[in-house]
Homo-oligomer: A and B are copies of this chain.
Amino acid sequence: MADVDIRETRSSMDIATILGLISGFGLIAAAIFLGGDPASFVNAPSVLIVIGGTFAIVTMCFSLSEVMHTFRVIMKTVFYSNRDPSEAAIQVLQVAELARRQGVLSLQNVLNSLEAEPFLHKGMAMVVDGTPGEEVETIMRRDLQATVQRHMKSTSVLRRAAEFAPAMGLIGTLIGLVQMLGNLDDPSTIGPSMAVALLTTFYGAVLANMVFSPLAAKLERNSTEEAMINTVYLMGAASIGRQENPRRLEMLLNSILPPAKRVQYFD
């Protein structure tokens, strides 16, 4: 019978990313529709050269599995925002207080309510199973490092893509220009040919500046935040495993939280 109420949480969609993406592309679409014929902005070979070419080059720079993994990371880390670090710290302190008062085994009852936070859940499960605090810390830190390294790799995949998309756009436009200039006989085709040639540059600029570059920035930001929250979980699990005083845990957590996010759970 737990007299400490553990808040149940769930990380929410990162509204800023979704909103930015939709409103940015909405503006572009509006400008295209206002200007008349939207069909003139769709050209399958141009799409293939820019997207396919960027994908091909980025695959060359890394490996297929690293590029594929980046898609998963974007879905998981970029579009879902993390919890507030203060909230995570409070939750950890609640669990620690409960363990202090009623013993570590009583955590068995609250394990389910932690399932929304797999990293915390895993750590607490180890604690309940009697794994010593030092080992809990070692295992969780290794997990944390591996995640950080994977996110860094994915960030550099996105950075490379933002670098090569405009280059592929330029290459596509050069191909179009050379083809157009070789067929100057019929002046009526110059305009449309040139318009098609410019499309790859347009696609490249949109991809780099409205997709890859902001996603890389957001991934880096969210990854830093996730690492901080997971460090909070790690320190909590290790402290509970070592059966330390929760007040000492509060002090430790405040030393890693940013100034504006520090918590004061006890008195």
Stretch at the interface among A119-127, A231-239, A256-264: A256-264
A190 at the interface (CB under 8 A from B): yes
How far is it, in angstroms, between the C-alpha of A221 and the C-alpha of B183 when the chains are bound?
44
Q: Does A56 contact B20, Cβ atoms closer than 8 Å?
A: yes
How far is it, in angstroms, between the C-alpha of A122 and the C-alpha of B66 when the chains are bound?
32
Contacts of A34 in B (CB 8 A): 45
How far is it, in angstroms, between the C-alpha of A105 and the C-alpha of B169 when the chains are bound?
61
A160 at the interface (CB under 8 A from B): yes
A49 in complex: contacting residue of B15, B28, B178, CB < 8 Å: B28
A171 at the interface (CB under 8 A from B): yes
Q: Does B178 contact A41, Cβ atoms closer than 8 Å?
A: yes
Chain A contact surface mostly: helix
Assuming the contacts A177-B195, A178-B195, A179-B36, asked whether A62 and B221 have C-beta atoms less than 8 A apart, the reply is yes
A248 at the interface (CB under 8 A from B): no
Assuming the contacts A60-B21, A63-B16, asked whether A174 and B192 have C-beta atoms less than 8 A apart, the reply is no
Q: Does B259 contact A31, Cβ atoms closer than 8 Å?
A: no
Q: Does B171 contact A206, Cβ atoms closer than 8 Å?
A: yes
The 0/1 profile, CB within 8 Å of B marked 1, for residues 1-44 of chain A is: 00000000000001111011101100110111011110011000
Interface size class of A (residues with CB under 8 A): 35 or more
- Please list 17 pairs of residues, one from A and one from B, whose beta carbons are closer than 8 Å in the complex, sorted by A's number: A14-B63, A23-B56, A24-B57, A27-B49, A37-B182, A56-B210, A57-B214, A60-B214, A61-B221, A62-B217, A149-B258, A171-B210, A174-B201, A174-B205, A178-B198, A181-B194, A184-B191
Given A60-B218, A61-B217, A182-B191, 13 additional A-B pairs, CB 8 A: A20-B58, A23-B56, A23-B59, A35-B175, A36-B183, A56-B210, A61-B214, A61-B218, A62-B218, A171-B202, A181-B192, A181-B194, A182-B192
Instruction: Point out residues on A near B: beta carbons under 8 Å.
Output: 14-17, 19-21, 23-24, 27-28, 30-32, 34-37, 40-41, 45, 48-49, 52-53, 56-64, 81, 142-143, 145-146, 149-150, 160, 164, 167-168, 170-172, 174-179, 181-184, 188, 190-192, 194-195, 198-199, 201-202, 205-206, 208-210, 213-215, 217-218, 221, 258-260, 262
